[in-house]
Amino acid sequence: MSDGIGARVARKEDKRFITGKGRYTDDIRVENQAYAAFVRSPHAHARVTGINAASAEAMEGVIAVLNGQQLTGDGIGNIICGWAITSKDGSPMNMGAWSALATEKVRYVGDAVAVVVAETQAQARLAAEAVEVDYEELPAVVQADAALSGGAPEIHDNAPGNLIYDWELGDEAATDAGIAEAAHVTELDITNQRLSPNPMEPRSAVAIYDGAEDHYTLYTTSQNPHVARLVLSAFYQVAPEHKLRVIAPDVGGGFGSKIYIYPEEITCLWASMKTGRSVKWTSDRSEAFLTDAHGRDHITKAKMGFDASGRITGFKIDTIANFGAYMSLFSSAVPTYLYATLLSGQYDISNIHCNVRAVYTNTVPVDAYRGAGRPEACYLIERMMETAAREMGLDPGELRRRNFITAFPHETPVIMAYDAGDFGGNLDKAMAAADVAGFAARKAEAAGRGKLRGLGYSCYIEACGIAPSAAVGSLGAGVGLWESAEVRVNPVGTIEILTGSHSHGQGHETTFAQVVADRFGLPIDNVSIVHGDTDKVQFGMGTYGSRSGAVGISAIVKAMDKVEAKVKKIAAHTLEASEEDIVIEGGEVKVAGTDKSMGWHEVGLAAYTGHNLPEGLEPGLKEGAFYDPINFTFPAGAYIAEVEVDPETGVTQIVRFTAADDFGTIINPMIVEGQVHGGVAQGIGQAMLEQVVYDEGGQLITGSYMDYCMPRADDVPFYTLEHNSTVCPNNPLGIKGCGEAGAIGAPPAVINAITDAIGSNDLAMPATPQAVWSAIQASKAPLAAE
């Protein structure tokens, strides 16, 4: 059918966005509205010795100035990390206390120490500047390796040497032996730089306390409102779940940064109770740079051994992960179970060992950002492969092919069970679409214009569809990662889908409707999607980790199975046929092989009138399901970047970008391609433009778009996309997920291309014009000396 699975349906939700009628949190203004502004630490590390709010309290419009002693005094709990990682010596991770408003110490520039609630936002901000906080400054540490070195300032009392955990995965002795017997060993020191996610909508919260009902409502910019409610209730003790409604209305992008529960939402809820006013806070961009969880920030040393035929004999990795000043909600899982477990890449490697040390520094907390751990793993592996190929004089595509996993299922030595894939086929498609055969001629032509042209590959794999609850539970997760859905067929036959997935740009209102329309043969306009409100939707784990298709849609399919069974019972009874003979096609419920049928809407009506139902069957037509995946899904692909470098300035232009992806079953190719475009742009951003920079004292240098370089339209090319789908065998529709692929696969392709162009491998991200120019100069230097 024209708008079912596989159709390029234009998005149903677009109309409100293109006409200015979207409803984001900051668009909401309620009765009794007051505004919050936070008093933030200007120091990276300091003891708070006193707070004097007298002059601020006296200012026009100020309702209250509240601090951390009051917050903890009211029993608001500390912010926690929800995934327990155990160090290799068996000790638990060292999680330091994090109060939404700091009490004794501040640990990064931007750490909140007090909140002002006032009649207007301007009044709140002015008063926040007037709150006098006495600080006793302490030495600060910013870089992860420096934090581990002896004598570094200690940030949390219960984390000696700033070490959060020292964790390992894989067989170290076997890996050492594999590398020892190698014919060739490639070694790289790789930094995966710190990024700021930067969804265009800054975070915002509107908290409403209803004293008569002792009930709270929170409108907030969340990717997972039920998780927010759970955490706010279970850990921060703001209110029990039945007394707290969390609504995530239209949300303007997240990329991971809106998964977490931040101090501001907690404080607004509490402040609403304290002041009896609805309390609203909206971050501005400068505040977002200071408070939104950052991503990446790994320092890694790696060794990869190869035998004489180019087969990998062992891969050893030592990573230090910078967690910032506090452990954010999922921070601990990122450099462990979302990183080390993917270090086999697309390759058949017998021996892998990865050691990860997580450390505190006086910087913004770090957590999952688009890809989360998998971009770090992919960048490492794909830089290793390209480097090794160059060192061994092999074609980089050929070296990869010699090591590709070709038989499935495949168990890696880092505990992943790949279920399906066609890695060689992905690379074939990408190479054909990128016209690799014609590259030499293009390179020669570019050289004639004084430009250096380069080609770079990246063959990525990721683990998505997060995640089997029992598996992640055994690895330390504090929650299950199933998804829920409810399919509500109305008496007139229209359908509402209540889903625990949350759309903040992904187009669920269209994609999910396509799946339902396809199943029952209905127009997609007869299907609407309800999400983002804990009072409406039964439960949900939210949208991140490319899980909404593989897990969220699977829950809908399970609920539709139940609806279909009941529809068949009702129709069989009405049409006097056997249930086995009932088929649902094109909006009709028919008896196969006969002309007997009833309209879909007639079944709905029959279900709700209850006038003539099979004996014992309940009226109504509404079914719910919880879907728990049995494995991760494994999207994979081959990306090829082609760049042109101006050697005079180091300016690099991406002239071609080709992606061949295996996402399994695709519901709406247009939306999937959009996800790849956006992911690749973020990957190009990491490769060439973006980096969070602190000075040595912990002051944020890249605190606005003046200094943090966001990808703009003229920084990126048109992208050429190919699909090479193998069906995921582990979920009902065979979906693998597509949300993070671009951000994972693009960075190594770009850096491999630039290093190919300039003939030097000594280039770190971001490859800014200066970095590229400097690498060219450095590689010329020895030649000049000869």
Partner 1 sequence: MTNVTMTVNGKSVSREVPDTMLLSEFLREELRLTGTHVGCDTSQCGACVVHLGGNAVKSCTALAVSLDGADITTIEGVAPGADLHPMQAAFNVHHGLQCGFCTPGMIMSGIDMVNRYQAEGRALTPEAIRHELEGNICRCTGYHNIVKAIEDAASKMAPMAKAAE
Partner 2 sequence: MYEAKYHKPASLTDAATALAGSSDGAVLAGGQTLLPTMKQHLAAPSDLIDVRAIDAMRGITVSEGAVTIGAATTHAEVAGSAVVRENIPALACLAGGIGDPAVRHMGTMGGSVANNDPAADYPAAVLGLGATVVTTSREIPADEFFDGLFSTDLEEGEIITQIRFPIAARAGYSKFPNPASRYALVGVFVAETGGAIRVAVTGAGADGVFRHSGMEAALATTVSTSVLDDVAVDAGDLVSDIHASAEYRAHLVTVMAKRAVEALS
Q: Which residues bind partner 1 (CB under 8 A)?
A: 10-11, 13-24, 26-27, 29, 122, 198-202, 250-253, 255, 284-286, 504-507, 670-671, 673-674, 676-682, 704-706, 710-714, 716, 718-719, 742
Q: What is the DSSP letter of 543?
A: S
Q: Is 673 helix (H, G, I), strand (E, B) or coil?
A: helix
- Assess contact for 236 and 260: CB atoms under 8 A: no
- Crossing angle of helices 554-575 and 600-609, rounded to 10°: 80
Q: Which is nearer to partner 1, 237 or 720 (CB)?
A: 720
Q: Which is nearer to partner 2, 463 or 716 (CB)?
A: 716
Residue 247 C-beta: closest distance to partner 1, Å: 16
Q: What is the DSSP track for 118-134?
A: ESSHHHHHHHHHH-EEE
Q: In what order do the strands lie in the sheet with 112-118?
A: 62-67, 112-118, 33-40, 278-282, 204-210, 215-220, 244-247
Q: Which is nearer to partner 2, 128 or 238 (CB)?
A: 128
Q: Which is nearer to partner 1, 13 or 187 (CB)?
A: 13
Q: Which is nearer to partner 2, 284 or 585 (CB)?
A: 284
Q: Which is nearer to partner 1, 509 or 628 (CB)?
A: 509
Residue 562 C-beta: closest distance to partner 1, Å: 32
Q: What is the DSSP track for 243-312?
A: GEEEE--B----TTTTTS--HHHHHHHHHHHHHTSEEEEE--HHHHHHHS-BEEEEEEEEEEEE-TTS-E
Residue 133 C-beta: closest distance to partner 1, Å: 23
Residue 776 C-beta: closest distance to partner 2, Å: 11
Q: What is the DSSP track for 33-71?
A: EEEEEEEE-SSSSEEEEEEE-HHHHTSTTEEEEEEHHHH
- Assess contact for 766 and 715: CB atoms under 8 A: no
Contact of residue 648 among partner 2, partner 1, none (CB under 5-8 Å per partner type): partner 2
Contact of residue 768 among partner 2, partner 1, none (CB under 5-8 Å per partner type): partner 2
What residue ranges bind partner 2 (CB under 8 A)? 126, 129, 286, 648-649, 689, 693, 701-702, 705-710, 715, 768-770, 773-774
Contact of residue 742 among partner 2, partner 1, none (CB under 5-8 Å per partner type): partner 1
Residue 522 C-beta: closest distance to partner 1, Å: 22
Contact of residue 250 among partner 1, partner 2, none (CB under 5-8 Å per partner type): partner 1
Phi, psi of 148 (to 5 degrees): -90, -15
Distance CA 64, CA 516 (A): 50
Contact of residue 614 among partner 2, partner 1, none (CB under 5-8 Å per partner type): none
Residue 42 C-beta: closest distance to partner 2, Å: 13
Contact of residue 21 among partner 2, partner 1, none (CB under 5-8 Å per partner type): partner 1
Distance CA 198, CA 601 (A): 45
134, 118, 254, 504: CA torsion to nearest 10 = 170
Residue 200 C-beta: closest distance to partner 2, Å: 16
Contact of residue 24 among partner 2, partner 1, none (CB under 5-8 Å per partner type): partner 1
Residue 700 C-beta: closest distance to partner 1, Å: 14
Contact of residue 783 among partner 1, partner 2, none (CB under 5-8 Å per partner type): none
What is the 3-state composition of the chain as percent helix, strand, coil, each rounded to the nearest 5?
A: 35, 25, 40
Residue 100 C-beta: closest distance to partner 2, Å: 25
Contact of residue 718 among partner 2, partner 1, none (CB under 5-8 Å per partner type): partner 1
Distance CA 229, CA 26 (A): 20
Residue 778 C-beta: closest distance to partner 2, Å: 12
- Assess contact for 454 and 523: CB atoms under 8 A: no
- Assess contact for 372 and 545: CB atoms under 8 A: yes
Residue 704 C-beta: closest distance to partner 2, Å: 8
Distance CA 469, CA 536 (A): 24
- Assess contact for 142 and 361: CB atoms under 8 A: yes
Contact of residue 273 among partner 2, partner 1, none (CB under 5-8 Å per partner type): none
Q: Which is nearer to partner 2, 83 or 773 (CB)?
A: 773
Residue 201 C-beta: closest distance to partner 1, Å: 4
Q: Which is nearer to partner 1, 53 or 513 (CB)?
A: 513
Sequence-distant (6+) residues with CB within 8 A of 83 are: 330, 331, 332, 333, 337, 475, 476, 477, 478
Residue 515 C-beta: closest distance to partner 2, Å: 41
Contact of residue 366 among partner 2, partner 1, none (CB under 5-8 Å per partner type): none
Residue 508 C-beta: closest distance to partner 1, Å: 11
Residue 317: count other Cβ atoms within 10 Å of its Cβ.
27
Contact of residue 734 among partner 1, partner 2, none (CB under 5-8 Å per partner type): none
Distance CA 685, CA 676 (A): 14
Q: Which is nearer to partner 1, 587 or 674 (CB)?
A: 674
Q: Which is nearer to partner 2, 109 or 517 (CB)?
A: 109
Q: Which is nearer to partner 2, 618 or 707 (CB)?
A: 707
Contact of residue 202 among partner 1, partner 2, none (CB under 5-8 Å per partner type): partner 1
Q: Which is nearer to partner 2, 581 or 715 (CB)?
A: 715
Q: Which is nearer to partner 1, 35 or 694 (CB)?
A: 35
- Assess contact for 161 and 87: CB atoms under 8 A: no
Q: How many residues are recorded in the chain?
A: 786
Q: Which is nearer to partner 2, 445 or 707 (CB)?
A: 707
E-state strands within 446-516: 452-461, 483-489, 495-499
Contact of residue 702 among partner 2, partner 1, none (CB under 5-8 Å per partner type): partner 2
Contact of residue 708 among partner 1, partner 2, none (CB under 5-8 Å per partner type): partner 2
Residue 66 C-beta: closest distance to partner 2, Å: 23
Q: What is the DSSP track for 309-333?
A: TS-EEEEEEEEEEE-TTS--TTGGG
Q: Which is nearer to partner 2, 281 or 632 (CB)?
A: 281
- Assess contact for 462 and 346: CB atoms under 8 A: no
Closest CA to 234 of 55, 62, 431, 82: 82
Distance CA 279, CA 32 (A): 9
Gyration radius (Cα) of the chain, Å: 27
Residue with tokens 């002795």: 173
